[in-house]
Structure 1
Amino acid sequence: MSKKDSLQVDNQRLAEAWARTLPTVLNASDRAEVKADEAEANVIRIHIATAGRSNYSFDFKCTYVDSREVQVELIDVEREGTAVDERTDVIQTLVDDYVRHIHECAQQLHAFTHS
Structure 2
Amino acid sequence: MSKSDQLRIDAQELAQAWSRTLPSVLDASDQAKVWPDEAESNVLRVHITTAGRSLYSFDFKCTYVDSREVRVELVDVERDNHAVDERTDIIQTLVDDYVRHLHECAQQLHALTTR
- Calculate the TM-score normalised by the size of structure 2: 0.97
Q: Tell me the SS of whatever aligns to 1:19.
A: helix
Structure richer in helix, relative to its length: 2
The answer on whether the counterparts of 1:33 and 1:48 sit within 8 Å (CA) in structure 2 is yes
In the alignment, structure 2 segments of 5+ residues that lack a partner are none
Cα deviation digits, residues 53-112 of structure 1 (max 9, x gap): 100000000000000000000000000000000000000000000000000000000000
Verify: 1:55 aligned to 2:55, yes or no: yes
Verify: 1:76 aligned to 2:76, yes or no: yes
Aligned equivalent of 2:44: 44
The answer on whether the counterparts of 1:29 and 1:50 sit within 8 Å (CA) in structure 2 is yes
CA distance in 2, matches of 1:6, 1:98: 25
In the alignment, structure 1 segments of 5+ residues that lack a partner are none
User: RMSD of the alignment, in Å?
Assistant: 1.0
Q: Tell me the SS of whatever aligns to 1:47.
A: strand
Aligned equivalent of 2:105: 105
Q: Point out 4+ residue stretches in structure 1 off by more than 2 angstroms.
A: none
The answer on whether the counterparts of 1:42 and 1:64 sit within 8 Å (CA) in structure 2 is yes
Q: CA shift at 1:3, angstroms? A: 6.3
